[in-house]
Amino acid sequence: MVMWQAHVRKIVLTRGVNLKVPSVTIDETLNRGLNFFGTATLAILATSTIHGFELPYGTAHRIAEIAFGLSAAASIVWYLSGRNRYRRSVAPLIFMMIALLAKLGGGLGSYGRIFPVGADLGITFLLVVTMAVWVWQFLTVRK
């Protein structure tokens, strides 16, 4: 053992820190990373709903922002409940698709066209790129 590792071990043992690590397989760890990527990116993009409520686009836009935020919240609840984070699942992709449909529906209701403009354009682009990377990773890490 290196000197600093022995010192850290001594500190951990004398202070009674419990370093229990959950028993997971390599596949479960890969699944957790993929599920976290989709869920965390959607949650970060959902912070845009705060900005979306300040814009005076109308009721359809506000409903779309609420649906976008709820899809991110549902994704977080799914990720944190039980052992879902360790399972190979398409749930993060489904939540991202719901969020994308909310953004596109909000654009249709607010502007009369499905192509988003303004701040929604950037969020939609990042969501599509995230979905593409997620699908690529999901197909690459097959069982």
Higher pLDDT, 4 or 117: 117
Average pLDDT over residues 103-127: 80
When pLDDT is averaged across residues 88-100 and rounded to a whole number, the result is 93
Which pLDDT belongs to residue 101?
A: 92
3-state secondary structure of 140: helix
**pTM (predicted TM-score):** 0.77
* Residues listed for the chain: 143
More confident residue, 73 or 27: 73
Percent of the chain with pLDDT over 70: 80
Exposed/middle/buried for residue 111 (C-beta within 10 Å: 0-12, 13-18, 19+): middle
59 pLDDT exceeds 70?
yes
Q: At residue 53, what is the residue type?
A: F
Q: List the one residue out of 130, 135, 100, 139 whose CA is nearest residue 40.
A: 130
Percent of the chain whose predicted confidence (pLDDT) is above 90? 35
